[in-house]
Amino acid sequence: MIKKLLIVIAFFLFKINGAYAADYPTISSVPGGIAVVNLLTSFTERDKVLFGKKRILTRKINNTWQALIGLPLKIKPGIHKIKIVSSQGKKHYQEFSVHNKDYATRHITIKNKRMVSPRKEDIERHYKEKPLILAALKQWTENNQVETQFTLPVDGRFSSIFGLKRIYNNQKRIRRHTGLDIAAPQGTAITSPAKGKVIRTGNYFFTGNTVFIDHGQGLITMYCHLNKTQVKAGQQLEQGEKIGTVGMTGRVSGPHLHWVVSLNNTKVDPKLFISNHDSK
């Protein structure tokens, strides 16, 4: 009797967890969002999914395999295709739609003019650092238990949302905001939104003190402008573990965390991974 009860409880928990995992990330098939494609029943965990040349995260929810596709901000609305490659090398394609989305424009004033119009030595430093940042965001680690519901990494106010077209100090150049800014007092704790592995830490010209966490299958998170970094490369983290504190390093107009979520080496809206994301 007890054995049967345990089986029933286990099945019930499995169903809850399956539905729970399927709720996140929120589907938003727009530039900077995430498309979710249900794969054919013939798909197995040994098969691969690609969008262009980029490997795509896959997961199994209630016996259905899904592909979670990060959509670039520059992607054009319309019909797009993913390529599925079987373990035997056979290929087929599935289509999905991308819809249009307009993002607002914001003017920002940066007191440190070098962060808007860098000197020659600043530019040289940036181009030395850029390959290190790109390599971290390209990381791919096999992981069949990727957590796709995040907690907020810091308690604060959403001061600048993802996708904004930003103009610094009234210059004509428009830069897209590829993260979520969360304003909080300097020294406020920053925690890992899900379990993962620290793959790089460093201090960079534009992003200041920075941490990269690998959550598996091309899901990478990046934390910028930290005052202090309290983790090291190679360190395994659980959800909620402290990684550092809010600061003002790099290009900032005030203390905040610039939080980046990269899926298949594509920066997407972090709010899609958290609940109650419109409440702040």
- pLDDT tens for residues 84-107? 999 999 999 999 999 999 998 877
Q: What is the CATH number of the domain that holds 246?
A: 2.70.70.10
- Would you state the structure tokens that stand for residue 69, as one six-digit string? 């596709």
Tokens (6 digits) for 67: 């592909």
All residues at 6 or more sequence positions from 75 whose CB lies less than 8 Å from its CB, including other chains: 31, 98
Q: Of 74-83, 100-109, 127-136, 180-189, which range is least confident?
A: 100-109
Q: What confidence score (pLDDT) does residue 115 get?
A: 72
Last residue of a domain, one of 98, 121, 153: 98
Higher pLDDT, 83 or 118: 83
Number of domains in the chain: 2
Alpha helices in the chain (DSSP H): 2-22, 120-137
Shared-domain flag, residues 44 and 111: no
Let me know whether 111 and 91 are in one domain: no
In this prediction, residue 275 carries a pLDDT of 79
| 274: its two tokens | 């958290």
Mean pLDDT of 199-219: 97
Query: Confidence class of residue 279 from pLDDT cuts 50, 70 and 90?
Result: very low
Reported as a pLDDT band with limits 50, 70 and 90, residue 78 is: very high
Question: Which structure tokens are listed for 26?
Answer: 């929120």
- What span, in angstroms and rounded, lies between the C-alpha atoms of 260 and 244? 15
Are 135 and 237 in a shared domain? Answer: yes
Listed in sequence order, the residues at least 6 apart from 105 whose beta carbon sits closer than 8 Å to its beta carbon are 164, 165, 166, 167, 174
Judged against a pLDDT cut of 90, whether residue 134 lies above it is answered with yes
| Shared domain check, 242 and 122 | yes
Q: How many degrees, rounded to 5, is the angle at CA 52 between CA 85 and CA 265?
A: 105
Rounded-to-integer distance, Cα 204 and Cα 126, Å: 7
Predicted confidence at residue 251, as pLDDT, reads: 86
Domain boundary among 98, 116, 132: 98
Q: Would you say residue 213 lies in a domain?
A: yes
**What CATH number is attached to the domain comprising 90?**
2.60.40.1590
pLDDT of residue 172: 63
- Please report the pLDDT score of residue 19 as a whole number: 42
pLDDT at 76 > cutoff 90? yes
Closest by CA position to 103, among listed 183, 178, 206, 207: 178
Q: Average pLDDT of 187-203?
A: 98
Q: Do 93 and 116 sit in the same domain of this protein?
A: no
Tens of pLDDT along 1-52?
444 443 333 334 333 344 445 689 999 999 999 999 999 989 999 999 999 9
Q: How far apart are CA 274 and CA 126, in angstroms?
A: 31
**Alpha carbons 61 and 243: distance in angstroms, whole number:** 30
Is residue 279 one of the residues assigned to a domain? no
Question: According to the model, what pLDDT value does residue 7 have?
Answer: 37
B/e letters for 93-105, b = 16+ CB within 10 Å, e = fewer, are ebebebeebebee
The proportion of the chain whose per-residue pLDDT surpasses 70, expressed as a percent, equals 88
Please report the beta strands in the chain, taking only residues with DSSP state E, as ranges in sequence order.
34-38, 48-51, 54-55, 57-61, 64-70, 78-85, 91-98, 105-108, 157-160, 165-168, 175-176, 180-183, 189-191, 196-204, 208-216, 219-229, 236-237, 242-246, 256-263, 266-268
Q: What is the mean pLDDT of residues 161-170?
A: 81
Together in a domain, 135 and 37: no
Q: Is residue 280 part of a domain?
A: no
Task: Please check whether residues 129 and 223 belong to one and the same domain.
Answer: yes
Residue 272: pLDDT band by 50, 70, 90 thresholds?
Answer: very high
| Torsion sign (Cα): 255, 137, 119, 105 | negative
Global pTM value:
0.88
Of residues 57 and 120, more confidently modeled = 57
More confident residue, 127 or 111: 127
Q: What percentage of the chain carries pLDDT values higher than 90?
A: 75
Last residue of a domain, one of 46, 80, 98: 98
Domain that holds residue 245: 105-273
**The pLDDT value given to residue 277:** 57
Alpha helices by DSSP H, 84-219: 120-137
Q: Return the number of other C-beta atoms located less than 10 Å from residue 148's C-beta.
A: 22
